[in-house]
Structure 1
Amino acid sequence: MSVVKREAEPHAREILQLAREAQARTTSLNNAIQSEIYAQWSEGWEFFDGVVYAIQQNGIILLKRADDLNDEHSPMREALCLIHSAACLVFQEIRTLLLAGFWSGAVGRWRSLHELAVTAIIIARQDSAFAQRYLDHGFVVQTHRLFEHYEAHARGPVAPNDLDARRAQADRLVQQHHVANAPKKFRDAYGWAASLMPLNRQGDKLVPPTFDRLEQMADQQHLRLLVMSAHGHVHSDSAGVVAAVVATETDWAIGPTPGFPEQVARPAFLSMQRIIAATHLGYEPTFNEFAKVIGLCGASAMKLAAWGFEAFKGNDGPAAGGTA
């Protein structure tokens, strides 16, 4: 063992030098794969870019509206702005990963985009007080995570005094949003949706909020099998590892591959349509002039996403890549 430890450093330095020498060839191979992927779905990538541009421009309009107004509907605007902005980032991540040949990673990001779609639909259907509940849940959960990290490591991004103030505020919010017959705490996963849950069979408690129940509320339950497939890639369970790595019986992927962009891009465009509809149409309490403008902007972005969905229609295969 001592020999191995002694030789590890010079061997590592040798590998580093070899990697430097191979960098040009590696870059060339990766560029060739990316060119192949782009050429096969060139129209689809243009629609990806069109959607990205549209949702970024729309996001600027939404954010400015939220900054300019401070009324009873402001929590709804803030919540939908957060979700829309997060979707902008995730959608771009999916495009980048797919075009680079990392479809398995893109599947994981689609799972995040799908959750944003479900969340946006549910919040847009509720009132502004419920949107504030969602915002407060984010504050409580983030504060809890910051506090746990500080307790474990005695350091973190928030100063101790500020963290104490956050904890006090979080405790107040937990009490404020407590639902008497909810089986879980407000800070637990999907605690923001606890008040929307139905009663259990005994009729004495609300059922706990779970993502599959939220999918049903948002009318997105038809994607449940696709979500379960994506979970294998998110968590890298045994089936997910096989689907990501084993391309054929004799060919294993240990780098970028041109396979499966359509099986990920199509669900991504669908989820983006749902997000745009919810964030744009739920943004205003009435169909005022701003609602008309942002509605048109949203409809145009949704049209681009619909075209993108069709542009990636190609070889039949398992949705979202593999059978994980």
Structure 2
Amino acid sequence: MTDSESAKFMKLVEREAEPHARDILRLSREAHAKSSALNSRIESYISNRWAKGWEFFDGVVYATQQDGAMLLQRADEVDDDHSPMREALALINSAACLVFQEIRTLLLAGFWSGAVGRWRALHELAVSAIIVAQQDPSFAQRYLDHGFVVQTHRLCEYYEAHGRGPVAQQELEKRRAQAELLSQKHQASNAPKRFRDSYGWAAPLMPLNRQGDKLVPPTFDRLEKMANEDHRRLLVMSAHGHVHSDSAGVVAAVLASDTEWALGPTPGFPQQVTRPAFLTMRSLIAATHLGFEPEFNEFAKVIGLCGASAMQLALWGARAFDEDSDPRPESGPS
């Protein structure tokens, strides 16, 4: 394009862009009713096609919500040496409950690619819960402190770059000072990274390098192996494409078939996400519930029974989505 052609095009854009945008708004209002009706049919199809599976999904959500309330209340009421463990596991359980509901919402609406990304988050929560539950309460405190330090660093960086943020500057300075103390407390001399770096909370669990002078860096695949959750590594690698929208993720999300592109919700693939989600929740619930108390007291008995029941629901749910193969997307609503 020559300079003259470019100048003409820019004048066209300046003259026509605003009225064209208003036309798009008008047309989108007219199209909204049609698209809403189609989306409702897709959601109805997904809901009815896997009705028993969604019943178990709702059961797991309800169970983790009720259990979460008990865990959080217990963590608030009891103050002893085991308190950091209760707080960490209660928070992880609550976060998992939220993510599990996000997966359900996305799948029912026909957005399986987004649900895959949220499963990746659920998997990380499960790995973290298992590792934290296997350690002592001081390690759980390290996990909690790492969260405070990392979030403070992110808030400070954003405020420094943009002069604004959800936390006022005075409060940020207090947080920054506290975060610095925590970083100094937890930073190991033989750790290869800073405490605030990714998975810095897990650094003391890493083996020494070949030279024997430094710990190897904590990475998620190493944490998966420690938690005995590395059998889902191939699923994690596939999910990364949807989390980061790399080239493979884009192709998988958009090309529904050789002749069909997805530009909106689709009725296909819910069982490919729900089954791993159910099984991941089973692992997470086992860790958060059974690792919550230091001894087999009355609360441990109650929460253990609740956890076992939720795990049973999750197992039933995984089986419900595996009874037979889902029809091809073409056989769904039109």
**TM-score of the superposition, structure 2-length normalised?**
0.93
Deviation string 1:19-44 (CA, Å, 9 cap, x unpaired) is 11122211110011111111211100
**Structure having the higher Rg:** 2
| Superposed displacement of residue 283, structure 1 | 0.3
| Superposed displacement of residue 158, structure 1 | 1.5
When the two chains are superposed, the root-mean-square deviation of aligned CA atoms in Å is 1.1
The corresponding residue for 1:71 is: 80
Q: Distance in 1 between matches of 2:164 and 2:25?
A: 33
AA matched with 2:32: Q
AA matched with 1:223: R
The corresponding residue for 2:243 is: 234
The corresponding residue for 1:267 is: 276
Deviation string 1:210-241 (CA, Å, 9 cap, x unpaired) is 00000000001111111000001111111111
Q: Distance in 2 between matches of 1:180 and 1:116?
A: 28
Partner secondary structure for residue 157 of structure 1: coil
Matches within 5 A, 1:133-172: 133-172=142-181
Matches within 5 A, 1:25-174: 25-174=34-183
The corresponding residue for 1:293 is: 302
* Residue of structure 1 aligned with 2:188, choices 176, 179, 195: 179
Q: Distance in 1 between matches of 2:163 and 2:308?
A: 49
Kindly indicate whether residue 210 of structure 2 is the aligned counterpart of residue 201 of structure 1.
yes
| Superposed displacement of residue 315, structure 1 | 2.2
Q: Distance in 1 between matches of 2:97 and 2:164?
A: 32
Moved over 3 A (4+): none
Q: Distance in 2 between matches of 1:23 and 1:94?
A: 25
Kindly indicate whether residue 287 of structure 2 is the aligned counterpart of residue 278 of structure 1.
yes
Q: Distance in 2 between matches of 1:47 and 1:216?
A: 29
Gaps of 5+ in 2: 1-9, 328-334
Q: Which moved more, 1:9-18 or 1:127-136?
A: 9-18
Kindly indicate whether residue 46 of structure 2 is the aligned counterpart of residue 12 of structure 1.
no
Contact 2:255 2:262 survives alignment (8 Å): yes
Partner secondary structure for residue 247 of structure 1: strand
| Superposed displacement of residue 165, structure 1 | 1.0
Q: Distance in 2 between matches of 1:291 and 1:108?
A: 33
AA matched with 1:315: S
AA matched with 1:308: G
* Residue of structure 1 aligned with 2:263, choices 254, 258, 264: 254
Q: Distance in 1 between matches of 2:265 and 2:238?
A: 20
The corresponding residue for 2:7 is: none
The corresponding residue for 1:322 is: none
The corresponding residue for 1:315 is: 325
Contact 2:110 2:266 survives alignment (8 Å): yes
Q: Distance in 1 between matches of 2:135 and 2:15?
A: 64
Q: Distance in 2 between matches of 1:163 and 1:95?
A: 36
AA matched with 1:187: R
**TM-score of the superposition, structure 1-length normalised?**
0.96
| Superposed displacement of residue 316, structure 1 | 8.2
Gaps of 5+ in 1: 318-324
Question: Number of paired residues?
Answer: 317
AA matched with 1:245: V
Contact 2:268 2:326 survives alignment (8 Å): no
Q: Percent identity?
A: 74
| Superposed displacement of residue 5, structure 1 | 2.2
Kindly indicate whether residue 200 of structure 2 is the aligned counterpart of residue 191 of structure 1.
yes
Partner secondary structure for residue 190 of structure 2: coil
Contact 2:242 2:250 survives alignment (8 Å): yes
Q: Distance in 1 between matches of 2:24 and 2:166?
A: 36
The corresponding residue for 1:224 is: 233
AA matched with 2:282: Q
Q: Distance in 1 between matches of 2:159 and 2:260?
A: 46
Partner secondary structure for residue 283 of structure 1: coil
Contact 2:271 2:326 survives alignment (8 Å): no
Structure 2 CA distance for partners of 1:33 and 1:316, relative to 1, 3 Å: closer
